Every structure is written in structure tokens, then in C-alpha cells.
Structure 1
Amino acid sequence: MTLTVAARSLPPTQTTGTSPTPPCRRRSRAYLGIVPAVVVVGAVTVVPLLQAVNLAFHRTVFLHVGSYAGFDNFLQLFRSAEVRSGLSQTVVFTVASVVVALVCGVTVACALAETRHTAVYETILLLPWVISQLLTGLLWKFLFSPNVGLVDVMWKAVTGDSNTDLLSQPGTAMACLVVANVWEIMPFAVVITLSALRTVPAELHEAAAMDGASKIRSYLLIILPQIKGSIFVVTVMLSLHSFNMVQLPLLITGGGPANGTNLLGLQVYRDAFVSYNFGSASALALVMFVINVVFTIVYMRLLKARVQ
């Protein structure tokens, strides 16, 4: 009783802690934290884009911006046979690369999903994706080299034609570019697809096995439809990567033979840094940018419709 009365007679304890930070102030601090990243992204993306827009509507002599040209640079592009040919070649290169890389990547991912120690295989498969395109281009340039390249030697041993140079014909040169590009981008498809396969519930595999479905049928009809969102993401990423390709055709074929592998990205490089026609190069770059944006919007709408 005495303790109770003493406790009641004590003065109330005063809290010394600070008051909680208002939510608006926490949000402002969070936005302030991303300011450096926004500045860097703006410096390397928005500023060059604005400069390209400015150059595309002006006549240029080397780096000197001349008079206003309106849409003349764009009209010259649409009249150019090289640009039209480059567009068709870019579409062929992109479609072939993405289809082959996607089919091979999904197949390899499904095979790895049924094996153990996948981390080791993932590390090995990811090497072509993480190394620079410069090394990839030089490697495949050597492999396709006549008489000394491994691929060229094997091709001649199989076909028996000792006079064929794989990089001397437009058709085979394009096929060589596709092979090199698939070797580089397929690991990305494998890793993303394998990660998505790990999220599929084990009950689906067990139900398919109980129904007597084979592994191939269970993956084609049950498992892969569950990860179609991830496959769409891989498709758009690989498409944008292949459509804007510059280094591989520059290093392996140089756009030849007879402009047979002159992709649009390589044409932008040639206009800008070989012909020093920055106005035409900027106009073509803007056209490619618009194509990329349209493709991405169409992809997002298709993905949204399928998810719903």
C-alpha cells in the first residue's frame, strides 16, 4: 500500500525523444536522394537527345551547325536506297536473332531447370553476355576468317568447298552476324527464363506428371504459359538490343559485302563519324528512336492484354 501511494506521488516522467518526422518531409528527403541519379541520367540521355533533335533539323558541316533545314534531312533519308536497304536488313537481322536466341534460350533454361548445380552452368552461360561487344566482335571475326578461322575450316570440311569465304557473300555474312549475336544475347534469355521457371509452383509439375504428360508437353502446354510475361520481357529487351546493333557488324563485316549487312545503327555511325554528316545521322537516329518507342508501346499493350 505504501509503495502504491509513493508511486502515485512521483512526478510524471517526461519523454526526451524527438517527435516523428512528418511523411511529407520523409518523401522530400527520398526525392532529394535520387537527385544525383536524375542529373546523371539526364546528362547522358536527355541532353544528347535534345542535341540530336537540334542537329536533325539543321544543316551541318562537321560539328558546325548551319542554317535551319526543316525536314530536308528526313526527306533525304526516305529517298536514300541505302537507308531503305538498311531498314530491311535490320529487320531481318533482328527477327532472326531474337527468334533463334529465344527458342534456344528457353530450351536451355527448361533443360537446366531439370538439373542440379544450375549456378555453375548459369555462370558459364552468362559469360558471353557480360563480356564487351568489342571482344565478341573480334572473337567471331577471327572464327569466320578464311582458312584460319575455326568456323570457316569446319564449314569447308563439311561442305567440301574450299573456295567459299563466309564473309564474302551477303547471305552468309548476314548469317554469320546472326550467329555471333545469338551467341551474345542467348545467355540473357536463359537466365531470365530460368529465374521465372523457379517461381512456378511444384504442384503444376506434379499434376502434369500425374496426368501422364511428358516433360515436353508439360512445359509447352502448362509451364511456359505461366511465365509468358517474363518471355515477353526477354523478347522486347533482345529486340531493342539487336535493332540498335552497331559494334558487331562494324567489327565483323564492316557493313559489307556490297552493303549486305549495313544495319541502321551502322549507317548512323558511318554518317556521323565517316562522312561527318551529323545532321543526317541525327535524323536517322531519331527515326530509330521513334521505332523503338513504338515497338515498346505495342509490346506493353500486348503484355497488358495477355495479363488481363
Structure 2
Amino acid sequence: MLFVAVIGYPMVRSLVYGFYKGSLLTDVSTFVGFQNIANLLGTPSFWGMVWHTGVFVVISSVGAFALALSLALALNSRIPGKGIWRTSFLIPWVLPGVVVSFLWSWIFNTNYGLLNGVIATLGGPGDTNWLNSPTLAMAGVIIAKIWHSFPWMAVLLMAAMQGVPSEVHDAAAVDGARGWRKQWYVVLPQIKPAMALTLLLETIWGLQHFEIPWVMTGGGPVGSTTTLSIGLYKAAFNNYDLGQAGAIGIVWTLIMGVLAAIYGIYSVRQERAAR
């Protein structure tokens, strides 16, 4: 009942708005069926949001996954001070997204940012407009997202690696597998389901991510970092158009549903292959 009251009903109600023409400023709404969705799909700005969302999600998810996997492999080996490293790498994850956003906004600030300061110290220009550039703003947002996301992915992957049976490690040692060969040919094939789940969860969370691009750029400049989540927010609370916001929500939900279905099919095939 708590799930229905807190999450289920608001989500369904928000999607229902997509079939009505209504405003946040009035109580009057008119049923229009799929007209809102048709209008949305015929709007070039919507496909721009889809493109920006795809770029943001794909690059940040793959980047965070690659960094997390590298870190997990390193911490799963015999290196000194593993406990300290594991604890320190969790710091970005435990910070709230808004705090991370302000931190990276300061790093990328044109006038007093850390990045421009380092570039100036090294003899570079040191006055790059990182977050005010349509080309560079998305890169800054993606870097912030990768930094915030990779720790939890590393924890999940490391837990999967530590769950590999000792018999597998013993057999690999007998066959002469050592170092990176052992990690690549023995450990990674054993944790493929965990890798797929980690990448899927990060992709879904990336699709619905809001605070980092919103706080850092507000969807700008010139809409270059406007993702579906920011587009929905602006449609509802800037333009007060509940119909357009609901239509964005419907398309958004369908995209995430397709990803979940792909993972479900993958999981079923993995289970059948393991039998």
C-alpha cells in the first residue's frame, strides 16, 4: 500500500496527463487521446532532447562502467591498503547529487574554477567557458556523472568477483593463469550477469537522472544539455503544459521498459545456458 500511495499512483497519474490537454494553472483538462504524443514526436526539439539524453546516458554509463570495472579488478588483486582504497572511492557515491553538481560547477567555473586555474598554471589560456559552451557543457556534465556513479558500480562488481568460487581460482592457477590473464579469461566470464545488471541499472538511472545537468547548466546553453528529465520539468513547471509533460513521460517510460525487457531476455538466456 505504501508503494502504491507514494510511487505507483503519482506515476500513473503523471502518465495519464499525456492523454489530456491541460495546464498546471487551471483545473480544466480535455481528453485528446494520442494527440499530445503525436505533436511531441513531430517536434524537432523533442528529438534534440532524445539525442542529448542518448549521448549523456551512453557515454556516462560506459565511462563509469569502464572506470568501475578497472577499479574492481585492481581492488580484487593483491595491492597494499585495499581497505583504505575501497573506503576512499566510496566518497563520491555518498555525496548528494546536488553537492556533486556544485562541486563540479566550481571546478569548471570560467573565472575562478580549479580546472582553468591548473591550465593557467601550466601555461595554457585558463579562460575556457566550459559550462557556457554548447560543445563543452555536455562533456562537463558527463564527467560529473561518471565521477558520481562509478563507486557503486565498482562495489557491485567487486562483490561479484569475490563471489567467484575458490575452485575456479585453483583450477586457473593449475593451468598457469596469472595476473591480467586470470582476470580476463577466468574472473570476468564468471561475473557476466553482474556486469550486465550493473550496466543496465546505471543506464536506467542515467535516463531518469536530473540533478547534475539541471544544477550545472539548467539544460543550456542553447538546450545542449536538455535531457528528457529536464525537458519534462520545463514543460510542466516552466510552460505549465501538463499534456506535453505527460507525453514526454510516456515516451520516457517506454524507452526504459524496452531496456528492462532486453535485460529480462538476456537473463533468461543466461539461465538456460547455465543449465
Query: Taking structure 1 as the reference length, what is the TM-score of the superposition?
Result: 0.82
Q: Give 1:72's aligned amino acid.
A: Q
* 2:241 pairs with 1:277: yes
Cα displacement (A) at 1:294 = 1.1
Cα displacement (A) at 1:288 = 0.6
Q: 1:1-308 counterparts in 2 under 5 A?
A: 39-63=1-25, 64-114=27-77, 115=79, 118-157=82-121, 160-307=124-271, 308=273
**For 1:69-107, what per-residue CA distance to the aligned partner results, in whole angstroms no more than 9, with x for missing partners?**
221211121111111011011111111011111111011
State the secondary structure of the residue aligned to 1:67. strand
Cα displacement (A) at 1:147 = 2.8
Q: Is the 8 A contact 1:156 1:164 kept in 2?
A: no
Matches of 1:75 and 1:48 in 2, distance apart? 23
Cα displacement (A) at 1:156 = 4.7
**For 1:177-201, what per-residue CA distance to the aligned partner results, in whole angstroms no more than 9, with x for missing partners?**
1110001110011100111111112
Cα displacement (A) at 1:159 = 7.5
State the secondary structure of the residue aligned to 2:30. strand
Q: Give 1:300's aligned amino acid.
A: G
Cα displacement (A) at 1:157 = 4.7
Matches of 1:103 and 1:209 in 2, distance apart? 26
1:272–1:228 CA distance, 2 compared to 1 (3 A): same
The aligned length equals 270
State the secondary structure of the residue aligned to 1:171. coil
Q: Give 1:136's aligned amino acid.
A: V
Larger radius of gyration: 1
Matches of 1:159 and 1:106 in 2, distance apart? 34
**For 1:226-285, what per-residue CA distance to the aligned partner results, in whole angstroms no more than 9, with x for missing partners?**
011111111111001111111111111111111111111110111111111111111101
**For 1:143-169, what per-residue CA distance to the aligned partner results, in whole angstroms no more than 9, with x for missing partners?**
111131112323455572334211122
Cα displacement (A) at 1:117 = 5.2
Q: Give 2:44's aligned amino acid.
A: A
Cα displacement (A) at 1:215 = 1.2
Matches of 2:80 and 2:160 in 1, distance apart? 17
Q: Give 1:176's aligned amino acid.
A: G
Q: Which runs of 5 or more structure 2 residues have no equivalent in the other structure?
A: none
Q: Is the 8 A contact 1:59 1:67 kept in 2?
A: yes
Cα displacement (A) at 1:211 = 3.4
Q: Which runs of 5 or more structure 1 residues have no equivalent in the other structure?
A: 1-38
Q: Give 2:146's aligned amino acid.
A: V
Cα displacement (A) at 1:171 = 2.3
Identity of aligned residues (%): 29
Per mean C-alpha deviation after superposition, the further-off stretch among 201-210 and 283-292 is: 201-210
Per mean C-alpha deviation after superposition, the further-off stretch among 172-181 and 203-212 is: 203-212
1:209–1:152 CA distance, 2 compared to 1 (3 A): farther
Query: Taking structure 2 as the reference length, what is the TM-score of the superposition?
Result: 0.92
Matches of 1:66 and 1:264 in 2, distance apart? 23
CA RMSD after TM alignment? 1.8
Q: Is the 8 A contact 1:52 1:283 kept in 2?
A: no
Q: Give 1:149's aligned amino acid.
A: G
Q: Give 1:103's aligned amino acid.
A: A
Higher relative contact order (CA 8 A, sep 6+): 2
1:126–1:226 CA distance, 2 compared to 1 (3 A): same
**For 1:45-76, what per-residue CA distance to the aligned partner results, in whole angstroms no more than 9, with x for missing partners?**
22112212331111112252411122121112
